[in-house]
Amino acid sequence: MNWRGRKVFITGGSGFIGSHLTERLVTSGAKVTALLEYTPYNDLGCLRHVPRNVVSQLELVPGDLRDPETIKKLLRGKDVVFHLGALVGIPYSYVNPREVFEVNAVGTLNLLLAARDGGASKVVTTSTSEVYGTALYTPIDEDHPLQAQSPYSASKIAADKVAEAFHKTYGVPVATLRPFNTYGPRQSDRAIIPTIIIQALKKKKITLGSLTPRRDMNYVLDTVDGFIKTAESPRAVGEVINIGTGKDSSVGEIASAILKVMGKKMPVTSTKDRKRPKGSEVMQLLCDNSKARELIGWEPKTSLEAGLKHTADWIKSHSEGYDADKYQI
Binding site for ligand NAD (CB under 6 A): 11-12, 14-18, 35, 37, 45, 64-66, 84-88, 103, 126, 128, 179, 181-182
Question: What are the Cα distances from residue 158, in Å, to 113, 260, 278, 327?
Answer: 15, 40, 23, 29
Whose CB is nearest to ligand NAD?
Answer: 15
41 vs 263 by CB, closer to ligand NAD: 41
Dist CA 178 CA 187 (whole Å): 18
Strand 206-208, strand 240-243: pairing: unpaired
* β-sheet bridge partners, residue 278: none
Sign of CA dihedral 46, 89, 223, 239: negative
Minimum CB–partner distance for residue 98 and ligand NAD (Å): 13
The smaller minimum CB distance to ligand NAD, of residues 37 and 288, is found at 37
CB of 87 to ligand NAD, least distance (A): 5
Least distance CB 17 / ligand NAD (angstroms)? 4
| Residue 286 C-beta: closest distance to ligand NAD, Å | 14
**Closest distance of CB 64 from ligand NAD, Å:** 4
Compare residues 11 and 280 and give the one whose CB is closer to ligand NAD. Answer: 11
92 CB-contact burial (10 Å; exposed 0-12 / middle 13-18 / buried 19+): middle
> Quick check: 191 and 209 in contact, CB under 8 A?
no
Coil, strand or helix: which one is 59? strand
In whole angstroms, the minimum distance from the beta carbon of 93 to ligand NAD comes to 11
With respect to ligand NAD, which residue has the nearer C-beta, 62 or 203? 62
Residue closer to ligand NAD, measured from CB, 118 or 179: 179
Nearer to ligand NAD, 247 or 266 (CB): 247
> Beta-carbon neighbour count of residue 19 at 10 Å?
28
